[in-house]
């Protein structure tokens, strides 16, 4: 073994560098003076002020895109002719009993009678909305429509 081949067991500690020459000197990585350089600095978020100025959208929340009006169950005029006899009264309950409509969530849904087909049975429609073409067809067959 020769002197120039000797190696120490531990390496030299790196000297702490301060100021412009070393890392984490001067501004210690904070990059600037003032509020940003201080401990515990909290700047008020600029976006928050903008958001707070916008009025709150009151209303229906997650149901915004759903219609407030339930879709009406459609009953066709030609179906009335095949199921109901002459002189029968057509209302929400009779349509449910004859299975032209079904319950929705345990309730009778909104109903509308549509169609401009001809009907040969004179029936009386009570308490069910009817389209203009359907009303014309029912009255032409000798029936009547009451709101």
Q: Say if 30 falls within a structural domain.
A: no
Q: Say if 19 falls within a structural domain.
A: no
Q: Say if 32 falls within a structural domain.
A: no
Q: How far apart are CA 66 and CA 74, in angstroms?
A: 19
DSSP letters along the chain, please? Answer: --GGG---SSPPPPPPP-TTSSTT-TTTT--SSGGGGSTT--PPPHHHHHHHHSPP--S-GGGTTS-SSPPPEEEEHHHHHHHSPTT-EE-HHHHHHTTSS--BTTB---EEEE------S--EEESS-B-HHHHHHHHHTT-EEE-
Q: Say if 67 falls within a structural domain.
A: no
Q: Say if 7 falls within a structural domain.
A: no
Q: Say if 117 falls within a structural domain.
A: yes
Q: Say if 29 falls within a structural domain.
A: no
Q: Say if 11 falls within a structural domain.
A: no
| pLDDT for residue 22 | 67
The answer to whether 101 and 109 are in contact (CB under 8 A) is yes
Question: CA-CA-CA-CA torsion for 53, 56, 57, 58, nearest 10 degrees?
Answer: -160
Domain count, the chain: 1
| pLDDT for residue 37 | 85
Structural domain including 140 reads 73-146
Residuewise pLDDT in 10s, the chain (147 residues): 899 999 999 988 887 766 676 677 777 778 878 888 888 877 888 888 888 998 887 888 888 888 877 788 999 999 998 999 999 999 999 999 999 999 988 988 899 999 988 899 999 999 999 999 999 999 999 999 997
Residue 134: CATH number of its domain? 3.100.10.10
């Amino acid at each position: 073994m020769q002197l120039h081949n000797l190696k120490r067991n531990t390496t030299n500690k790196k000297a702490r560098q301060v100021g412009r020459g070393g890392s984490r000197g001067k501004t210690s990585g904070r990059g600037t003076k003032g509020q940003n350089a201080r401990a515990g600095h909290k700047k008020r978020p600029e976006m928050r002020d903008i958001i707070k100025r916008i009025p709150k959208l009151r209303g229906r929340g997650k149901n915004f895109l759903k219609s407030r009006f339930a879709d009406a169950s459609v009953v066709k005029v030609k179906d009335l002719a095949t199921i109901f006899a002459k002189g029968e009264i057509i209302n929400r309950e009779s349509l449910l009993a004859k299975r032209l409509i079904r319950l929705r969530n345990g309730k009778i849904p909104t109903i509308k009678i549509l169609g401009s087909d001809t009907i040969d049975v004179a029936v009386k429609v009570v308490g069910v909305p009817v389209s203009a073409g359907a009303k014309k067809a029912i009255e032409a067959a000798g029936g009547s429509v009451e709101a």
